[in-house]
Structure 1
Amino acid sequence: MKELRHKVQSVLSGAGGRWSIVIINQATRERLEINPAMVFPAASMIKVPILYELMRQVAAGQLSLDESLIVAGASRVGGAGILQELRPDIAMTLRELAILMIVLSDNSATNLLIERVGMNAVNQTMTALGLTSTVLRRRMMDFEAARTGRENETCATDLALLFELIYTSHGLPDQYGALMVDILKRQQIRDKLPFYLPEETILANKTGTLPGVEHDGGILFLPGGPYIICVLSGDLTFNYQGIQLIARIGKIVYEHLYEEE
C-alpha cells in the first residue's frame, strides 16, 4: 500500500488539525497506518461499541432484541436522530433502537441502550476485545460531563479492530455479526467516506461529529474482498474541512483499491 499511502499523505499535507487513518485488506492482512494510536473524542463512533455489547448480551441470553422500552420525555435529547420528534412515550424494541442509533445516529436511542446494557459492561467488553483506547464515559449530549473531562474516546486502531471483529462475528454466533453488518450497511449519513463513491458501492459504516471533530469508518466491500477503513480527525478549525477531506480520502482509497482489483 505504499502508493496509496503517498496519495493519502499528499492530501493530508495541506490539512490542519490532527489525522489518523487505518486501512486493512481483510484478505492479505496488509495495512496502511497513519498515526493509528492517536486518541480522539469518539463522538458517535462510540455507538459501534454499544452495538457490539448489545449483541453480546443478546447472544448470551441476557437480553432480547424484541424487548421494548418506552421513550419517555426524560429520555429524549437533542442532536442527531428522530425520536425527539415522535409522539410521547412511544415504545421501541431494542432492535429498533439499535437501528436508529446507527443508521440515523439517534442520540435518544443511544442513551436508552447505554442504560439498558450498562456503561461498565461496554467498557469491560471493549477491554476484553483488545481495544485499549476506547472508553464510554458519558451519555450522548451530556456536554457538562465532557467539560469536566468525562469524554468518550477512541482511536483508529481500536475501531479498525472492532469492525474486523464484527465482520468475522468474533466471540458471537454468526447471525449477530451478520446483523451488525446489515445495520451498518443501512447507514444514511453519507457525507464523508462514501460521498464520491459509485451509488452501488457497499460501505457498512458509522460516522462521528463534534465541534472540531469528524470521523468515518467501516467495512468497504469490493469485488476482491472487504477492506476495513477508518479515518479520524480532530482539532479542526472548521468541521466542513474535515467532512470534505474525508470524502476526498474515500474517493482516493476507493479508486486506488478498485484499480488494484
Structure 2
Amino acid sequence: MKEIKRYLESRIGQYSFYFEDLDGGYIYGFNENVKMTSAGCMKLPVAMALFKEIENNKISLDTKLSICGDDKVFGTGIIHEFCERDYTVLELVIAMLIQSDNTAANKIIDVLGIERINEIIKDMGLSNTELNRKTMDEKNVRDVVENLTSSFDLCKCWKHLYKHTYLSEEHSNKLIDILRRQQLKNKVAFYIPENFKQTIASKSGDLEGIENDTSIIQIPKGNFAFTVMSKGVPNNVYGNVTVAKCGKMVWDIINNDWK
C-alpha cells in the first residue's frame, strides 16, 4: 500500500485513501481522517440512514412519493427527464445509487430530514461525515457549505454492511447488491478485469476539481473496502486517471500478493 501513497504524493492535488481487509483486519491509510467534500459518495450513508428508518418502521420501501417539477434537480440521474409521477422509496433508492440520481437523493433527504440523517450518521460512528445540504447540479454549487466525509468513514460504511453491524443482514445485503449494479464504474474498478467488476459494489462522486470513489471488493481472495478521495485536481480526466490507477494498484496487490 505504500506505493499507492507514494503515487498520490506525486500527483497534483490533495488526496486521501483508506484500505481495509474486512476479514483479516489489515488496514492502511493516507490522510484517511481528513474531512473532504463527499460529492456523490454522500449517497451511501444517506441510503444507510434510509434503511435504518425502514427498520425503525418510520417508512417503507413500498411507500409512494410524488416527484413534481419543483423536486427535479439536473446533473446526474434521469428522473428529471420524466413527467411528474409517484415513485416508490425502493425505486428512488435504486435510482439514487445506480444512477447517482440527484432528484431521488433530494426526495429521500426531504423525507428523512437533514437533522435526522446526521443523527444516524453519528450513530453509525462516522465522526468525519456531515450532511449540510441537498444535492444540486454543478453550476449551482458555488459558495455553498459542502457535504463532508472521509476515506475512513466511507470504508466504515462498507464494514457495517459487510458485517451487518448497523443494519439487518437483509438490508445490508440489499444495499450491497444495489451498489454492485452502480453504472459508473470508471474509477476504482476501471482497470479491474470485466469478469470481476460485477463483484464490486461502489459509489463514486465528482464535482469540479474533485474525484472520489468508494468500493467493496468481494472476490475469492477475500473482502476488502477501499476508498480514494481528492480535491484540487487540475481537471476531472486527471482525477479519474489518478483514482483508476489507484484501483489497479490495489487490485494487483490483492490479486498477486494477498494470502
Aligned to 1:240: 237
Letter of the aligned partner of 2:53 in structure 1?
Answer: Q
SS in 2 for 1:188: coil
CA distance in 2, matches of 1:182, 1:43: 22
CA distance in 2, matches of 1:227, 1:207: 17
> How far is 1:171 from its partner?
2.7
* Aligned mate of 2:91, from 71, 96, 106: 96
CA distance in 2, matches of 1:131, 1:172: 15
SS in 1 for 2:187: coil
Aligned to 1:74: 70
CA distance in 1, matches of 2:6, 2:188: 17
CA distance in 1, matches of 2:48, 2:251: 27
> How far is 1:62 from its partner?
0.9
CA displacement, residues 121-167 of structure 1 (integer Å, 9 cap, x when unaligned): 11011111211110111111177996444211111111111111122
Aligned sequence identity (%): 29
SS in 1 for 2:195: coil
Letter of the aligned partner of 2:39 in structure 1?
Answer: A
Give 1:1-261 correspondences, 5 Å limit.
4-5=1-2, 7-86=3-82, 88-141=83-136, 147-201=142-196, 202-259=199-256, 260-261=258-259
Tell me, yes or no, if the aligned pair for 2:20 and 2:27 is still in contact at 8 Å.
yes
CA distance in 1, matches of 2:139, 2:229: 23
CA distance in 1, matches of 2:155, 2:51: 18
Tell me, yes or no, if the aligned pair for 2:60 and 2:89 is still in contact at 8 Å.
yes
Letter of the aligned partner of 2:46 in structure 1?
Answer: I
CA distance in 2, matches of 1:200, 1:251: 15
Tell me, yes or no, if the aligned pair for 2:160 and 2:167 is still in contact at 8 Å.
no
CA distance in 1, matches of 2:51, 2:124: 14
CA distance in 1, matches of 2:194, 2:202: 15
CA distance in 1, matches of 2:140, 2:150: 20
CA distance in 1, matches of 2:79, 2:177: 21
Tell me, yes or no, if the aligned pair for 1:40 and 1:153 is still in contact at 8 Å.
yes
SS in 1 for 2:194: coil
- Consecutive unaligned residues of structure 1, counting only runs of 5 or more, are none
CA distance in 1, matches of 2:168, 2:153: 22
> How far is 1:172 from its partner?
2.3
SS in 2 for 1:200: helix
What's the C-alpha RMSD, in Å, of the aligned pairs? 1.5
Letter of the aligned partner of 2:66 in structure 1?
Answer: I
SS in 2 for 1:65: coil
CA distance in 1, matches of 2:166, 2:19: 23
Cα 1:123–1:175 shift into 2, 3 Å = same
CA distance in 1, matches of 2:208, 2:140: 16
Letter of the aligned partner of 2:4 in structure 1?
Answer: V
- Consecutive unaligned residues of structure 2, counting only runs of 5 or more, are none
TM-score (norm. length: structure 2): 0.95
